[in-house]
Amino acid sequence: MPTTLDLLDRRVVRGWLTEHDGAALDRLWRRADEVRRAHVGNEVHLRGLIEITNHCVRHCTYCGIAACAGPIPRYRMTHDEILACARQGRDFGFGTIVLQGGEDPGVTGRFVADVVRAIKRETGAAVTLSLGERGDDELLAWRDAGADRYLLRFETSDLALYRRIHPGLPGLVSDRFERLLRMRDLGYEIGTGVMIGLPGQTWDTLADDIWAFRDYGIDMIGIGPYLPSPGTQLAGALGRELAAGPDDQVPNDELTTLKAMALTRLVCPDTNIPSTTALSILDPSAGRANGLCRGANVIMPNLTPPQYRVLYTIYPGKASLHETADVVTDRIIAIIDGLGRTVGKGPGGRRGRNE
């Protein structure tokens, strides 16, 4: 059994990831919650998510909206549609609006800059972008327009595994760590994350992932389970090919995801960590609450109109596909209230950096 939760190093993190003793895990949960309370407080920040496009030029082998995912219905939201969702987030009191989408050249740099300016002007909220790997010109234009943060998940720190699941574009090598550091240089808060239980992800790899969060000083960290998307390569033959041995392959279950979240809170005390939608798929009754009790301090209610939300199928089983944003938001606030926590006010940036 690991002996400490106060002087973590990569070896100790690796040990805790494979811990199954109930009493030891209770210690881990308590300590992660204590560190969360001490460093980011009892507020849970709500960030309104708008999935603005499901077009994508990438061929990521795990993603249900990748270019290789087949003839799925595609959409792009208009400027006015996006702004209407952002206004709704403002009315709910959200301090951040998140624009997420596939890596879509049809969503141009000028279009995004215009949308960001409009959101800032009409809502005063922070704006987070998650639109794939973009060049310096677009990143600079969006920063100048008022974008505050950028999310780009590195998915795994194992470079060989990364290249198998995330092929580069012709003539371009994908280096998400380089892009993240470049975004930081441009003034963005940077966010990233990993999937738990990717075929080929070992316990050593996952420990390295968590340590990479610490080494790169990440501002926002999303950790969720790998949910196989039907028809993708990773859900089929490629996944079977990449899978590690039975003693080494990390499972894509709730317990392992929660352990990774708790350990991330301990090694990155003041970062922002969401309780992800994917957790609520594994455990519809308590997934999000469990995440909030294991170190998380952010939830991202979905503001995407239902007619588009059902088409943004990055993984299967997404909850609340046909519910309106107010119903989803009320349910999330009830979870927060039930835990004795409060809904955060303002942009909710990383403490000591943007606030």
Do 183 and 136 meet the contact criterion of CB atoms below 8 Å apart?
Answer: no
Instruction: Give CA–CA dist 213/27, Å, rounded.
Output: 22
Instruction: Reply yes or no on whether the pLDDT at 152 is more than 60.
Output: yes
Torsion of CA 258, 263, 268, 272, to 10 degrees: 10
Give the amino acid at 299.
I
Of the candidates 309, 195, 312, which has an alpha carbon nearest to the alpha carbon of residue 261? Answer: 195
Instruction: Reply yes or no on whether the pLDDT at 2 is more than 70.
Output: no
What mean pLDDT is reported for the chain?
93
Report pLDDT for 4: 61
User: Which whole number is the average pLDDT over 300-328?
Assistant: 87
Do 302 and 309 meet the contact criterion of CB atoms below 8 Å apart?
Answer: yes
User: Which whole number is the average pLDDT over 10-37?
Assistant: 96
Instruction: Give CA–CA dist 56/232, Å, rounded.
Output: 14
Instruction: Give CA–CA dist 106/82, Å, rounded.
Output: 15
Question: What pTM was estimated for this model as a whole?
Answer: 0.95
Instruction: Give CA–CA dist 88/126, Å, rounded.
Output: 14
Do 272 and 45 meet the contact criterion of CB atoms below 8 Å apart?
Answer: yes
Q: Which CATH architecture has domain 10-343?
A: Alpha-Beta Barrel (3.20)
For 211-223, the DSSP string reads HHHHHTT-SEEEE
Report pLDDT for 355: 42
User: Which whole number is the average pLDDT over 110-119?
Assistant: 98
Instruction: Give CA–CA dist 81/243, Å, rounded.
Output: 42
Instruction: Reply yes or no on whether the pLDDT at 304 is more than 70.
Output: yes
Instruction: Give CA–CA dist 89/93, Å, rounded.
Output: 6
pLDDT tens, 264-293? Answer: 999 999 999 999 988 988 888 889 999 999
Do 102 and 54 meet the contact criterion of CB atoms below 8 Å apart?
Answer: yes
Residue 222's DSSP bridge partners are: 193
Cα atoms found within 13 Å of the Cα of residue 106, Cβ hemisphere only:
14
- Break the chain into its structural domains and give their ranges: 10-343
User: Which whole number is the average pLDDT over 57-74?
Assistant: 91
Of all residues in the chain, the percent with pLDDT exceeding 70 is 97
> Euclidean distance between the first and final Cα of the chain, in Å?
39
Do 302 and 319 meet the contact criterion of CB atoms below 8 Å apart?
Answer: no
- Pull the structure tokens for residue 157: 């720190």
Q: Region of 155 please: left (phi>0), alpha (psi -120 to 50) or beta.
A: left
Do 224 and 279 meet the contact criterion of CB atoms below 8 Å apart?
Answer: yes
Would you place residue 146 in the very low, low, confident or very high pLDDT band (cuts 50, 70, 90)? Answer: very high
Secondary structure of residue 149 in the 3-state scheme: strand
Dihedral sign for Cα atoms in the order 277, 282, 288, 292 = negative
Instruction: Give CA–CA dist 268/87, Å, rounded.
Output: 33
- Pull the structure tokens for residue 107: 């969503």
Q: How many helices (H) and strands (E) does the chain have?
A: 14, 8
User: Which whole number is the average pLDDT over 95-99?
Assistant: 98
Residue 221's DSSP bridge partners are: 192
Instruction: Reply yes or no on whether the pLDDT at 60 is more than 80.
Output: yes
Residue with tokens 């990390």: 250
